[in-house]
A and B are shown apart, each in its own frame.
Chain A
């Protein structure tokens, strides 16, 4: 079974631009979560989607948004990029939002904002 796939692996943008990251979950998984990883803040939860609905959202500004499609694939969008948005963005999928379900992570998208 294929793992969680995130595209692209690397991205370079300039301040003020917007960016869209993509995540394809493991087949059969309906829950997708997004995390931002930076050296200073560690891993921080962005949001979680299940059955095309946002279930939970972390403490990030409205510039960060996401959505989930009927095939469970998810996209994350960041508008008006700032230098501080430079980070590794990780996506994780699980069977569902129940806590006992194991989250499987993708290799991430490295975003650099210049």
Chain B
């Protein structure tokens, strides 16, 4: 079964600075999707960014970008110009393209933004 590992339970960043959240995964598949979701105190999970494994180019969404290293099975999230509203729990997730393509989530990284 696929596993997703987030080795940083907690991270903090100064407002306006840059922070990188780490994620590694284990799979024998060649095609899959990777996601970063954000869960603020309101509890609603919000999609931050999505990466298709067959695409070499790293995905970006405004201040959010990923460093996708397929061979290393690494998928880190970089948040630039951090804002107070970025404070939340961040989850890395994997989803295969095959049948039974359920999501596998990491255990999350709690991000604190210091004013």
A and B found bound together: yes
Q: How far is the CA of A100 from the CA of B31 in the complex (A)?
A: 11
B residues neighboring A (CB under 8 Å): 32-33, 37, 42-47, 50, 52, 91, 95-97, 100-108
Chain A residues in 8 Å Cβ range of B100:
55-56
Q: Which 8 A-B pairs have the closest CB atoms?
A: A105-B45, A43-B105, A42-B107, A107-B44, A45-B102, A99-B101, A99-B97, A56-B100
Tell whether A22 is near chain B: CB-to-CB under 8 Å. no
Number of A-B contacts (CB under 8 A): 52
Interface magnitude class on chain A:
20 to 34
Q: Shortest distance in angstroms between A6's beta carbon and chain B's nearest beta carbon?
A: 10
What residues on B are CB-neighbors of A102 within 8 Å? 47, 50
- Please judge, given known A-B contacts A99-B32, A102-B50, whether A42 and B105 are in contact too, CB under 8 Å: yes
Instruction: Tell me if B102 and A106 are in contact (CB < 8 A).
Output: no
| B91 in contact with A43 (CB, 8 Å) | yes
B52 touches A100 (CB 8 A): yes
Which residues from A are CB-within-8-Å of B102?
Answer: 33, 45, 48, 56, 58
Which residues from A are CB-within-8-Å of B91?
Answer: 42-43
In whole angstroms, how far apart are the Cα atoms of A102 and B97 in the complex? 13
